[in-house]
Amino acid sequence: MITCKTSREIGGMGHPIKRKEDIRFIQGKGRYVDDIKLPGMLHMDIVRSPYAYARIKHIDASEALKIPGVVAVVTGKDLEKYNLHWMPTLMSDTQMVLPTDTVMYQAQEVAAVIATDRYTARDAKEAVRVEYEPMKPVVDPYKALEPDAPVLRTDKEGKTDNHIWHWEVGDREKTEAVFRSADVVVKEHMHIPRIHVVSIETCGCVADYDKVNNHLTMYMTTQAPHAIRTVIALVAGHLGLTEEKIRVISPDIGGGFGGKVPVYPGYVIAIAVSFLTGKPVKWIEDRSENLQADSFARDYHITAEMAATREGKILATRFKVLADHGYTDAAANPSKFPTGLFSIGTGSYDYDTAFMEADAVYTNKPPGGVAYRCSFRVTEAVHAIERLTDSMARALGMDPAEFRMKNFIKKEDFPWKSPTGWTYDSGDYHAGLKKAMEVIGYDDLRREQAEKRKKGELMGIGISTFTEIVGAGPSRDFDILGIKMFDSCEIRVHPTGKAIARFGTKSQGQGHETTYAQIIAEELGIPAEHIQVEEGDTDTAPYGLGTYASRSTPTAGAAAAVAARKLRDKARKIAAYLLEVSEEDLEWEPGKFYVKGAPEKAKTIQDIVFAAYTNHPPGMEAGFEATHYYDPPNLTFPSGAYICVVDIDKETFEIKIRRFVAIDDCGNIINPMVVQGQVHGGLTQGLAPAMYEELIYDEDGNILNGTLMDYLVPTAVESPRWETGHTITPSPHHPIGAKGVGESPTVGAPPAIANAIVDALSVYGITHLDIPITPYKIYEALKAKGVIED
Amino acid sequence: MIPEPFEYSAPTSLSEALTLLRELGDEAKILAGGHSLIPMMKLRFATPTHLVDLNRVPGLSYVTEENGVLRIGAMTREHELDESPIVAEKFPIFRDAARLIADPQVRNFGTVGGNLAHGDAANDQPAVMIALNAEVVIASLDGERTVPIDDFFYGFYMTAVQEGEILTEIRVPIQPGRTGNAYHKSERKVGDYATAGVAVQVSLDDDGVCTYAGIGLTNVNPTPMRARRSEEALLGRRIDEDAIAAAARYAAEDCNPSDDLRGSTAYKRRLVRVLTQRMIHKALERAHGRSTH
Amino acid sequence: MTRDITVTINGEQHTVAVEPRLLLVHLIREKLNLTGTHIGCDTSSCGACTVLINGKSAKSCTILAVQADGASITTIEGVGTPEALHPLQEGFRECHGLHCGFCTPGMIMRAMELLEKNPNPTEEEIRWGIAGNLCRCTGYNNIVKAIQYAAAKLRGEETPSTEPEFV
């Protein structure tokens, strides 16, 4: 049950108020980066490599430069003069802005053409002649580790192999001991495919350098404008472009999902060109470039094992990961976490022994390791544990729901310390699964399935009961390039009682303009409709690390609540002064302070704010403003129980999702409409890699599906009608008890779908299929099993 | 994504269009619905130097029935075919296909003639027209000629439409007797090209003997393909399960799919078998008036 | 070589000199500064650029501006007014049919024609009807609901509840 403490007029937490930002979007008045047009603006297009691995012998721009309207062609050699040809990644690796001699993946940036309009730039790109000497690329990450594999990163002094890093957590010896003596052990090899976020808006920027004032305004598609400003200052500071001279503006963003966290070469080249020409430079990548070159997500090869007793008690898990990062580690994780929060992979189950290790390798593929609507690497971890859980239940002959119920961490055992070191804040996993089972009619479905199996029909039921880990994060562990992962809110209330609030995060569709206003409305009683929320301009917003990994509510949302509470404390003082009583004699109810026992003696928040400007108590600072930088004491741990039912055509193996019930627990709910919308969207983005999406490369490193004709983003037809609900277990440490929700469904849905499909096919002895599970993949698996002949 | 520069003409009569095409020779490319051509031009896979736009030529868009023949103007949009009352009554196969071609916006502009003249075995109308045994009318300054559908597809993106010619009409004979037709394709997601597609039309006489069988296959052969042995397996007999199974098996054996992202050769053959079986059943049901859907 | 074309966009006539290769979407966005129509792909897969041409929904990235000579075009800017939103615009907001807003203009333009042809579509008809428009944020549930809401309103019936429904 969602309860509201404020009236609908105030519109605090729990009210499904309509979104403020929609007004402009539904009328075509959003302002996205490609909508920005500045006087004298130049357009940039990028020449890209047709080869996955090649030496650049020669770049001939002469024909391109003859085209009227072409201003310049920029190569790595040009950037080298300014020491701008390489840049750091967020993981302290290095990435080429433009190559001086070698290209490392197909579609890598080779040169940039600058022209007075977009069409001319496109023609000039075609006219640039590049001579390559192709080399045999390393595409398979396992082969990359073989002793005779060519060393790809010859730019790194002393590098003798393609290994990037090794990471491990847990107790290796203890885990091995448990596995040696366990009754039952299951093991699955799984690949979590390389996928792409495909926000409907691609990436782009307008770099506007003002030579006269030595000032750069950078409009760009970024989820983390402040961090980007700092990165630009680190990269270009030696040219005099220091941080105070840089203003990053992230306008309306057409979806991010992690793909708009990294700094792409195109941004840096645009800045360099604007810096050199003194003119605004627009760069908007097209979809093919976006798919082929921008950061990928996932691409984890996982060997996952679970040990249990014969009675069905989980004893231990062990994961071994090979992470394919492409030619550089351009993941967007907190710096101390090369595998992100993968160590959440012990799951929702009560056992005390685990060991996980990972190794990362370089290959001739695009760099990355971003989120795809997922907290850092949590999807990979959850997929592994939830698939494994099903495999174990099957090995034990237990129903997968019963097996989960038997092993869940109990509600009363929170806060619960996981074997990999996390302290889960709260949860009620039994309640979530029970509700999902009731809603979907689990027992009836199992009976129906038994009947169908007798008739040879393929029906499957899949469960996923996941624990997320979001809200990075506490400053003791979490930073990006040294900057702690707090987030911020600044509230200014105007004399008439209306407010503007600014944040270090940046919405890309999450609805911050509405939900943040609701948090402040809840705390101050100022109607949400009178609280204007602003993000994305580094000149005005307080510093923050941005929006990704479901961190906005846990960090900036908390900052909003704390900043508002600071103001409420001030309001109490002013009210006491105005009512001539002591502060202790005042009671708060949303929107006003009144004297205990005399509710008619009251001052509304509007009265109080007005007084802060017109009649503030002697000795008190005038005005009504507060700022808070919130450093979370812990992460938050949303959870969910998902059940999926599939029917599979036994001749064509077409998969139909008949029903999908998602019960989420994201703690207290700020706006149920927005939360539900986030869940719906996340579920479709979970469906996508489960059944449709994967970036596919051939052995020469050519991408085989680099457009949306072959990279299969689900439409409204593939996407089923999601049935969603919730249980509410507030986070005990978060100021408003919220946990974050944007990514839970993307994390939880793939194993539910995979488990349902594998459940249907288990009659043929299938225990695992890698996602995306397509009819063709089922066909191949059944053929391999000898179930079908043709 | 921007095409290379090109010249553009929009003739307002068929003769003007044909004259232009003759003058321009192989530099010209016909623009019909443009929804295959323009994406290829944007990706710069196609770089014609002159586009001759037929969209302003009157009299090329119609769906009529005359003397037992369904006549479809080449510039008829896919959605117009889908919405035509004659189609609803006698050719539900076109509705089956229309629903699976790309998406609604594309069907608003994509033309039936263009779908054939593009010469792509992955398009859906070719197999349908093969199953219906259509004829294609091709005009040039020298007059009109009629080409049976079996002689229309030459090779990859190549058809009987030669330089200086325009495909103007498709003629579909309306079979006597109880006739049913149906089309389906397996696709990876809605709007995708077929992994495999099968079009079937059957006609039965009063004794239930098959007097016409047409079976066309999508995207399992270098060109759109007629499954001739499959048709023969049905013709001249009452169609029973054995005949259907044989027809389906022949179609699977005779097609020549290739391995690609959509699946292996063997997988596609399996789909052809299953879909042939299903579409024959569906066409028979429609022939018997048991189902129009 | 440019040529003059005349198009009526949202009721206003414009004569513009264009290259034959100019895509309609660029005419709309770059020459006429109507930036509500978006570009999301190269292959007419995403539908973000959908506008109405003589009442028919069209992917303006796959149509040449010269082809639209003489045509009447409606973009999102020509739908409703701030004072009187179109029922579809209202439906998308009321039913939370959008998140980032990037696909929304195209979705609304597509739904305009859908409802024009079929004033009372089923859920399945709506889903197939918007199959040429990709949305990456919403999971489509609420887009379907928004179109149903608008359909009811356009039929003059009482609109369904817009409160979120939970299981």
pLDDT digits (tens, 9 = 90+) for B38-67: 999 999 999 999 999 999 999 999 999 999
Task: Name the pairing type of β-strands A109-115 and A70-75.
Answer: antiparallel
At C10 the pLDDT is 98
pLDDT recorded at residue A377: 96
Query: Hey, are the CB atoms on C43 and A510 less than 8 Å from each other?
Result: no
What is the spatial order of strands in the sheet that A592-595 belongs to?
Answer: A586-589, A592-595, A598-604
Q: How many domains does chain B have?
A: 3
Residues B46 and B71 in one domain: no
The Cα B283–Cα B104 span in angstroms is 25
> Does C23 sit within 8 Å of B2, measured CB to CB?
yes
- The CATH 3.10.20.30 domain(s) of chain C lie at 3-78
Task: Please judge whether A714 and B189 are an interchain contact, meaning their C-beta atoms are less than 8 angstroms apart.
Answer: yes
In percent, the amount of chain C with pLDDT more than 70 equals 100
Residue B225 lies in a domain: yes
Nearest to B85 by CA among B70, B97, B100, B99: B70
pLDDT at B290: 64
Which residues 66-125 on chain C approach chain B with CB closer than 8 angstroms?
66-67, 69, 110, 113-114
- Residue A481: per-residue pLDDT: 85
Output the domain CATH number for residue B281: 3.30.390.50
CATH for C87-154 (3.40.50.300, 1.20.1260.10, 1.10.150.120, 3.40.50.1950): 1.10.150.120
Decide if A676 and C164 are in contact by the 8 Å CB cutoff.
Answer: yes
Name the minimum distance, in Å, from the CA of A214 to any CA of chain C.
29
Residue A572 tokens, joined: 């109490």
Token couple for A680 = 């719906």
State chain B's mean pLDDT as an integer. Answer: 96
| Residue A16 at interface with chain C, using a CB cutoff of 8 Å | yes
Nearest C-alpha in A relative to B265:
A790
Per the domain annotation, does B2 fall within a domain?
A: no
- Amino acid at position B255, single letter: C
Check A775 against B266: CB less than 8 A apart.
Answer: no
Question: Average pLDDT of A723-733?
Answer: 98
Contact A180, A679 (CB under 8 A): no
Which pLDDT belongs to residue B1? 87
* B293 against A478, higher pLDDT: A478
Rounded to 5, what percent of chain C is helix, strand, coil?
A: 35, 15, 45
Give CA–CA dist B268/B253, Å, rounded: 11
Domains with residue ranges and CATH for chain A: 22-30+487-630 (3.30.365.10), 33-135+203-284 (3.90.1170.50), 296-472+634-784 (3.30.365.10)
- The answer to whether C57 and B107 are in contact (CB under 8 A) is no
pLDDT at A293: 97
Residues B154 and B207 in one domain: no
Give pLDDT, residue A149: 96
Q: Quick one: tokens of A66?
A: 């003859």
DSSP state of A553: I
Give the residue from A744, A752, A742, A753 showing the smallest Cα distance to A257. Answer: A742
- The token duo for C146 is 């928004």
Q: Is A721 on the interface with C (CB under 8 A)?
A: yes
Candidate from B1, B261, B273 with C-beta closest to A710: B261
The CA-atom distances, in angstroms, between A613 and each of A491, A495, A497, A533, A590 are 15, 6, 11, 22, 21
Encoded tokens for A764 = 């043929």
Q: Residue window 11-50, chain C: list those with CB within 8 Å of chain B.
A: 19-21, 23, 42-45, 47, 50
Sequence-ordered alpha helix ranges (H) in A147-264: 172-181, 225-236
Per-residue pLDDT, A161: 97
Shortest Cα distance from A220 to chain C (angstroms)? 15
Report pLDDT digits (tens) over C32-63. 999 999 999 989 999 999 999 999 999 999 99
B204 and B225 within one domain: yes
Regarding whether B223 and B190 lie in a shared domain, the answer is yes
Note whether C3 contacts B6, CB cutoff 8 Å.
no
Q: What is the ipTM of this complex?
A: 0.98
Strand (E) or helix (H) holding A531: strand A531-535
Same domain, B156 and B187: no
Whether A252 has its CB under 8 Å from any CB of chain C: the answer is yes
Distance between CA atoms of C66 and C54, rounded to whole angstroms? Answer: 15
Q: Which of A543-557, A596-610, B46-60 has the lowest mean pLDDT?
A: A543-557
CATH of the domain at B120: 3.30.465.10
Cβ separation of B2 and C43 shorter than 8 Å?
no
- Contact call for B2 and A718, based on CB within 8 A: no
Rounded CA separation B117/B153 (Å)? 9
Residue B293's pLDDT is 46
| SS3 assignment, position C66 | helix
Region B168-183: what's the mean pLDDT? 96
**CATH for C3-78 (3.60.90.10, 3.60.21.10, 3.10.20.30, 1.20.810.10):** 3.10.20.30
Residues of C in contact with A509 (CB under 8 A): 98-102, 137
CB proximity C136 to B under 8 Å = no
E strand intervals along chain B: 7-9, 28-31, 50-53, 63-66, 69-73, 135-140, 143-148, 153-155, 158-159, 166-173, 178-186, 196-204, 210-218, 225-226
User: Band of the pLDDT at B206, cuts 50, 70, 90?
Assistant: very high
Residue tagged 């939103």 (tokens): C85
- Spell out which chain B residues touch chain A, with contact meaning CB-CB distance below 8 angstroms: 1-2, 4-5, 43-44, 186, 188-192, 195, 252, 261-264, 266-267, 269-271, 273-275
- The residue segments making up the domain with residue B68 are 63-173
Confidence of residue B292 (pLDDT cuts 50, 70, 90): very low
Any idea what the CATH number is for the domain that residue B34 is in? 3.30.43.10
A23 touches chain C (CB under 8 A): yes
Omega before residue A617 within 30° of 0, cis: no
Establish if B293 belongs to a structural domain.
no
The distance of Cα A194 from the centroid of its chain, to the nearest Å, equals 15
Residue of B nearest to C107 (CA): B105
Mean pLDDT confidence for A671-693: 98
Contact A389, A186 (CB under 8 A): no
Element housing A187 (H / E): strand A184-195
Q: Nearest residue of A to residue B5 by CA position? A: A123
Residues of A known to be catalytic: 223, 373-374, 743
Up-side HSE of residue A156: CA atoms within 13 Å toward CB?
A: 17
CB C34 within 8 A of CB C9: yes
Residue of chain A whose alpha carbon sits nearest to that of C140: A716
Which residue from B minimizes the CA distance to C26?
B2
Kindly report whether the peptide bond that precedes residue A415 is cis, defined as omega within 30 degrees of 0: yes
pLDDT of A139 above 80: yes
Q: Is there a contact between C44 and B34 if contact means CB atoms under 8 Å apart?
A: no
Q: Are residue B167 and residue B78 in the same domain, yes or no? A: yes
B222 in the same domain as B157: no
Same domain, B97 and B147: yes
Give me the half-sphere count of Cα atoms (radius 13 Å) on the Cβ side of residue A617. Answer: 18
Find the mean pLDDT for residues A284-290. 97
